[in-house]
Structure 1
Amino acid sequence: MQLKSLNKGRFATYWQNNNNLIESIIEQCIVEKKIVDEKSILFRQGCKINDLIMVYNGTISIRYEAANGRRFHLGTLDCDEHIFGEMEFFTGYLCQFDIIAEEALTVSIVNADKLYQSLIEHPKLALFFASAIAFDYQDTLDIFLKRTLYSICYNIAFDLYQHYLNIHSVSNFQKNYLEAERFGTTDRVYRRAVNELIKLDIVEKSEGKLEIKNIDKLKEFIKCKGKIPV
C-alpha cells in the first residue's frame, strides 16, 4: 500500500485533507532506517513478518514461487512511500510473496507494536489502511484473474495497452525469462506468444524491447480475444 494520500475512491477528499496526520502517525512508528543492497530480499515468502517496511523511493519486484518450482512475478514497482507487510500485519499469516530490492534502497522499519497501538488510538489510521488495502487487493486480484482465465497472447497485448494508456501500476522486465514469469508461464511459451503477435503485425521488437507496432490492431485483438471494450 502507498502511504501518500489516495486520489481515488470514496474517501479521496478525506485522505487528501488528512494526509499530514497519517504520515506523522506512521513516522512515529518508525524505529530504524537503513540501506539495503541490490537484490536484497526485504520479505521472504513463507516467513513470519515481525515489522513492516516502508520504501520511500526506488524499485522493488514482487514474486511468488509454487511448490512445483514455477514462479509468478507481479513485475517491478517504482515506490513512492510504499509500505509492505500490511496484509500480514492484520492477518498474522506468513509472508505471501518475496519482496526484492531491484536496486540499493533506503528502507524504514515500522514497528508492529507501535503501529498496533496507533491504530487503537487513531481510528482514522485504521480507515486509511482499510481503503489502501482494498485498492491493492482488487488490483492484484484483477492481474491474477486475467493471467488465469485469458491466453498468454491476450495478457501480453493487454499489458502493453495498459502501459500505452499509462495506467499500469507495475513495470516489465528486460529479460525474457522474467517477463515469462510475470505472465505465469515459461520462457519458451512466452517467446511463442510474442512471435504470434509479431506475425499478426501487432507488436515489434526494437533493441530487444517489445513495443506496439499498430495500436488499432492491438485494440481490435484485445476486443476480440477478451470481449472487453477499448
Structure 2
Amino acid sequence: MQQQPYPLGRFQAELQALEPRFASALEACRLHLRRYLPGESIMRQGEQCEHLYLVKRGRVSLNSAVHSGRLFQLGEIECHHQIFGEMEFFGAAPVQWNVVAETELDASVICAHKLAQRLLAEPELVLFFAAALACDYLDTLDITTSRLLHPIAYNIAYELWRERQRTPMLGSRKRAHEAARFGTTERVYRRALKELIEQGIVGEGIDGPVIADLAKLRTYLSL
C-alpha cells in the first residue's frame, strides 16, 4: 500500500486532512533505517514478521514459490512511499510474498507493536489501511479474474492498459520473470507477445512491452 492516500475513494478528503498525522505516527514507530542491496530480501515468504517496511524510493519485486521450485512473479513496483507488511500486520499471519530489492534502496523498519498501540490510541488512522487495502484488494481481484478468464496475450495487453491508467505494478526486464508473472512458461509467453506485436498492438520497448497503437489496443480489449 502507499503511504499517501489513493487518488480515488470515498474518504479521500478525510485522508488528505489526516495525512500529516499518519506520517508522524509511522515516523514515531520507526526503529531504524536499513539499506538493502539488489537481490536482497526485505521480507521472506513463510516467516513471521513483527515489522512493516516503508520504502520511499527504489524498485522491488514480489514473488511466491512452492516446494517444487515453481515461482510465480507478481511483478515489480517503483516505490513512492510504499508500505510492505500491512497484510501480515493485521492478519498476524506468516509473510505471503517474498519482497526483494531490485535496486539499492533504504527502508524504514517500523515496529508492529508500537504501531498497533498508536492505532489503538488514534483509531481514525486505521482509515488509511482500510482504504488502501480495499483498493489493493479490488485491484488484485481484477487482475486475478482476468488471468483466469482470458488467454495470455489478452492479459499482456490488458496489463499495459492498466499501467497506462494508474496501476503501480510494473513488469520485469527479465523475460523469464515475466512468464512466471503470468503463470506460464517463457516459450508460451514469447508466443503470446509475438502475436500482439504482429497485430501492431504492442511493441518492444527498452524495459519490456509497450503500447504500439492505443486504438488497436482498445479494440482488442473491447474497451
Specify if TM > 0.5. Answer: yes
The reply to whether residue 183 of structure 1 matches residue 189 of structure 2 is no
Q: Matched residues in 2 for 1:214 and 1:55: separation?
A: 34
Distance change in 2, residues 1:131/1:162 (3 Å): closer
Cα offsets for 1:100-121 (capped at 9, x unmatched):
1111111111101101111110
**Contact kept? 2:172, 2:208, Cα under 8 Å:** no
Q: Deviations over 1:185-224 (max 9, x none)?
A: 110110111122223232233568433333322221111x
**Structure 2: runs of 5 or more not aligned:** none
Structure 1 residues 149, 118: CA separation in 2 closer, same or farther (over 3 Å shift)? same
Q: Distance in 2 between matches of 1:10 and 1:63?
A: 31
Cα contact 1:37–1:104 (8 A) shared by 2: yes
Q: Match for residue 29 of structure 1?
A: 29
Q: 1:207 to 1:100 in 2, by over 3 A?
A: closer
Normalization by structure 2: what TM-score?
0.93
Aligned residues: 223
Deviation for aligned residue 1:55: 0.8
2:114 aligns with 114
Query: Which residue identity does 2:117 align to in structure 1?
Result: Q
Contact 1:60/1:79 (8 A) holds in 2: yes
Aligned to 1:159: 159
Instruction: Give the aligned partner of residue 62 of structure 1.
Output: 62
Give the match's secondary structure for 1:61. strand
Q: Structure 1 vs Structure 2: percent identity of aligned residues?
A: 38
Matching residue of 2:196 = 197
Structure 1 position 6, deviation (Å): 3.2
Q: Deviations over 1:18-55 (max 9, x none)?
A: 11011111111101112111111101111111211111
Residue 40 of structure 1 corresponds to 40
Note the C-alpha offset of 1:167.
2.0
* Alpha-carbon separation, structure 1, partners of 2:202 and 2:177: 19
| Aligned match of 2:211 | 212
**Paired residue for 1:168?**
167
Unaligned runs of 5+ in 1: 224-229
Q: CA contact under 8 A between 1:75 and 1:182: conserved in structure 2? A: yes
In structure 2, relative to structure 1, the CA distance for the partners of 1:207 and 1:113 (3 Å cut) is: closer
CA distance in 2, matches of 1:116, 1:20: 18
Residues 24 and 219 from structure 1, CA distance in 2 versus in 1: closer, same or farther, beyond 3 angstroms? same
Amino acid at match of 1:205: E
2:221 equivalent in structure 1: 222
Contact 1:51 1:112 (8 Å CA) reproduced? yes
> Does the 8 Å contact 2:50/2:113 carry over to 1?
no
Task: State the TM-score, normalized to the length of structure 1.
Answer: 0.90
